[in-house]
Amino acid sequence: MEKHTSKATKTLINDKLSSIKVELEDYFDTKLSRSQGPKFLYYKEGDFFQRHYDKGMSSDNPETVKERKVSTVIFLNSETDELENSSYTGGSLVIYGVMKDPRFKSYGFRLIGATGMLLAFRSDLLHEVMPVNEGVRYTVVDWFV
């Protein structure tokens, strides 16, 4: 679910993300041209996102999805074990295929979101968002091509 935000906020976040493009290129050893623009997402209780790739590999996918190289997620609030002020429970990001060893191919690494944390990963990694148990999970996502 995308959250409606002001143009000024989208521009600010876009500028901040654009400023890390060179770092992302160095880290992932790949040339990036631009970001596709931030999307502000929220997940309410029970919401989740099934396992998927951000880089669409199907011929049915639009070109904007096929060209993605690096995905970014900024956590605007924290996942906690027990609901606190602006936190949420559940809603972990799980990423698969991080380790090259075939024995770990189906093993998912659970990432617990923390306010202000930025995560970047290759867009061809399988991942999912687990169901939110309580509260609302707020993130900003973007993709570099």
Which residue type, as a one-letter code, is found at position 52?
H
Residue type, 79: E
What is this structure's pTM? 0.92
Chain-centre distance for alpha carbon 138: 11
* 8-45: pLDDT as tens digits: 988 999 999 999 999 999 999 999 999 999 999 999 99
Report, as ranges of residue numbers, the positions in the chain whose pLDDT lies below 50.
none
Q: Which residue ranges form the domains of the chain, and what is each CATH number?
A: 7-144 (2.60.120.620)
